[in-house]
Amino acid sequence: MHDHRRLGRELGLFDSDPLIGSGLPYWLPDGAAVRHALEEYIRDQERRAGYQHVYSPVLGKRELYEISGHWSHYRDNMYPPMDLGGEQVMLRPSLCPHHALIYRSRARSHRELPLRIAELGGMYRAELSGVLGGLSRVRAIQLNDAHIFAPLDAAAGEAHAALSMISRAHAAMGIERAWYRLSLPGPGGKYIAAPGDWRRSTALLREVLDEAGLPYEAVEGEAAFYGPKIDVQVADAAGREFTLSTVQIDFHQPEQFDLRYVGADGAKHRPVMVHRSIVGSVERAVAHLIELHGGAFPAWLAPVQLVVLPVGDGERAFADALVARAVDLGVRAAVRGPEHGTLAARVRDARLAPYQAVIGPREDAAGDVAPRLRDGRRLDPRPAAEFLARLAGQIAAHSPELWPVPAP
Ligand SMILES: [Zn+2]
């Protein structure tokens, strides 16, 4: 494993400035390309799974967090309120309260449920500066979050579907080593007291894990203040374990915000709230991907996916045209011409790009490319259009493989 802070600098993915502050990194163009690809993948998966996307503000009034329980149970991690003309507003510590209010903004019928509300939104954590570093501990977080409002009997199915989305995403991202933790409350007063709710949600989460056939470890003291959760754990470069993805079943927030729906019987019922995150914080997810792949991202995440290498200046025009066609197909492509050194040096410089296309006089004359894959494979020269179409297809499929494995 690599240190993402060193690689992030070397590869020009992100950086920070003491004048902006610690724990507040900025993303450089190549890092922004990785992040954008990840965010688009998540949104696409969510759309296919019936989620609806919203935007909500990163600020809220102090009363909002008093109702949600953050003010009394989570205040140590929050920024202090700002006084605005007699009102106190705060940077939000989570997206849940805003989504609960979006649910509550109109009368809901059982026919609309499960209602899946998703947002890649900002939230803030008042981390001490001593623990900050790179992208793994930040004070401004972009969270891949969603809340599913469902009748009680649909909650387990929704949690199960979220776990399947998580494993599909991990496969696409090339994450092979992850394990499941059932996070339960521990001793101490940091949890809301409603023993019946804790028992019910813990039983449901156990049922979901058992039904999915997933081995897990139950750990006390790791629950959210309002309920237990399934955490999908991975390890960073230093071997420290952290939570990448999470699924929770929550009875508390629907109660606090008095959420309701009209059932088939015409009576009012309380929905259950399933909180789920596929990749957690975008910062932490990208930090993990940098360390896991040493900068050699799966093709769909790579900042530059195709590097075109004209052998000499004579092949320059064809190389430029090839890049233009690739960009048109949605591929992130660039030319590295002879002004950047010998062909061997340029091949080496572009070693993290999943695909290289070398163009010599013979390829130029025939309209062919001679592709090289990052794993060292060289493909036979082939028509440029055919290569680009297959490459674009491979990227669009979010495959962790660089090229189709030939049929036996
Ligand atoms: Zn939530």
> Over the stretch 57-77, which tens digit does the pLDDT of each residue have?
999 999 999 999 999 988 999
376 Cα to the center of ligand 1, angstroms: 44
| pLDDT tops 80 at residue 1 | no
Q: Report d(CA 299, CA 354) in Å as an integer.
A: 6
pLDDT digits (tens, 9 = 90+) for 103-144: 999 999 999 999 999 999 999 999 887 666 789 889 999 999
How far does residue 265's CA lie from ligand 1's centre (Å)? 29
Rg of the Cα atoms in the chain = 24
Asked: is 4-293 a CATH 1.10.10.10 domain? The reply is no
Q: How far is the CA of 94 from the centre of ligand 1 (A)?
A: 7
Cα–ligand 1 centroid distance for 225 (angstroms): 11
Give yes or no for a contact between 59 and 89, defined as CB atoms under 8 angstroms apart: yes
Q: What is the mean pLDDT of the chain?
A: 93
> Distance from the CA of 195 to the center of ligand 1, in angstroms?
20
Which CATH superfamily, name and number, covers 299-396? Anticodon-binding domain (3.40.50.800)
Find the 13 Cα to ligand 1 centroid distance in Å: 29
Distance CA 151, CA 158 (A): 10
CA angle 38, 170, 42 (to 5 degrees): 30
Confidence check: pLDDT of 407 > 80: no
Output the CA 224–ligand 1 centroid distance in Å. 10
CA–CA–CA angle 195, 257, 149 (5° rounding) = 85
Expressed in angstroms and rounded, the spacing between residue 12 Cα and the centre of ligand 1 is: 33
Q: Where are the domains of the chain?
A: 4-293, 299-396
Per-residue tokens: 386: 């055919």
Based on the number of CB atoms within 10 Å of its own CB, is 400 exposed (0-12), middle (13-18) or buried (19 or more)? middle
Distance 248 CA to ligand 1 centre (A): 8
Residue 351 CA to ligand 1 centre (angstroms): 40
CA-based nearest residue to 234, from 279, 269, 276 = 279
Query: 184-239: per-residue pLDDT in tens?
Result: 988 877 788 788 888 999 999 999 999 999 999 999 998 888 889 999 999 877 78
Averaged pLDDT, 176-184:
91
Give the 3-state secondary structure of the chain. CCCHHHHHHHCCCEECCCCCCCCCCEECHHHHHHHHHHHHHHHHHHHHCCCEECCCCCEEEHHHHHHHCHHHHCHHHCCCCEEECCEEEEECCCCHHHHHHHHHCCCCEHHHCCEEEEEEEEEECCCCHHHCECCCECCEEEEEEEEEEECHHHHHHHHHHHHHHHHHHHHHHCCCCCEEEEEECCCCCCCCCCHHHHHHHHHHHHHHHHHCCCCEEEEECCCECCECEEEEEEECCCCCEEEEEEEEEECHHHHHCCCCEECCCCCEECCEEEEEECCCEHHHHHHHHHHHHCCCCCHHHCCCCEEEEECCHHHHHHHHHHHHHHHHCCCCEEECCHHHCCHHHHHHHCCCCCEEEEECHHHHHHCEEEEEECCCCECCCEEHHHHHHHHHHHHHCCCCCCCCCCCC
Strand partners, 279: none
CA of 274 to the centre of ligand 1 (A): 8
The pTM of the whole model exceeds 0.75 = yes
What spacing in Å lies between the alpha carbon of 345 and ligand 1's midpoint? 49
Centroid of ligand 1 to alpha carbon of 15 (angstroms): 29
- In order of 242, 269, 285, the CA distances from 279 in angstroms are 12, 31, 6
For 5-30, the pLDDT digits (tens) are: 999 999 999 999 999 998 999 999 99
Q: Do domains 4-293 and 299-396 have the same CATH topology?
A: no
CA of residue 249 to ligand 1 center, whole Å: 10
Q: Is 118 exposed, middle or buried (0-12, 13-18, 19+ CB in 10 A)?
A: buried
Which pair of tokens denotes residue 47?
Answer: 């759309």
Mean pLDDT of the 311-340 span:
96
CA–centroid distance, residue 106 to ligand 1 (Å):
20
Distance 97 CA to ligand 1 centre (A): 8
Distance CA(221)–CA(215), nearest Å, equals 19
Contact 261, 232 (CB under 8 A): no
**Interval 274-302: pLDDT, tens:** 999 999 999 999 999 999 999 999 999 99
Place 408 in a pLDDT band, splitting at 50, 70 and 90: very low
The alpha carbon of 382 and the centre of ligand 1 are apart by a number of angstroms equal to 50
